[in-house]
Amino acid sequence: MDMTTYFGVLKDGISFTKIKKKLSDSGIIILDYYPKLKIIKFKTEKKISGTSFDFFVTVEEEKNDFFIQS
């Protein structure tokens, strides 16, 4: 099964250090954390939705539709 990359925005008052273990324990690989934006970039084989984790404001699948036109 292919791994899908997602971005999750943490809710206010939620600590990344507390969530990091919870995500890792559920088989999710954390790729990066952007503390000023409170965004976690992660990948998993599982299908994820915003309702899967109550500590995220939103979860979005990474898209490959970014391009620069010159």
CATH number at residue 54: 3.30.70
Output helix, strand, coil percentages for the chain, rounded to the nearest 5.
Answer: 20, 35, 45
Residue 49 lies in a domain: yes
Confidence band of 31 (pLDDT split at 50, 70, 90): very high
Residue 68 lies in a domain: no
Residue 44 lies in a domain: yes
Confidence band of 46 (pLDDT split at 50, 70, 90): confident
Residue 69 lies in a domain: no
| Helical residues (DSSP H) of the chain, grouped into ranges | 16-25
Q: What is the CA radius of gyration of the chain?
A: 13
Residue 16 lies in a domain: yes
**pTM of the predicted model over 0.85:** no
What is the rounded average pLDDT of the residues 24-46?
Answer: 93
Number of domains in the chain: 1
Question: What are the pLDDT digits (tens) for 59-69?
Answer: 888 887 655 55
Q: Residue 28's domain spans which residues?
A: 4-61
State the Cα–Cα distance between residues 28 and 70, nearest whole angstrom.
Answer: 37
Residue 18 lies in a domain: yes
Confidence band of 18 (pLDDT split at 50, 70, 90): confident
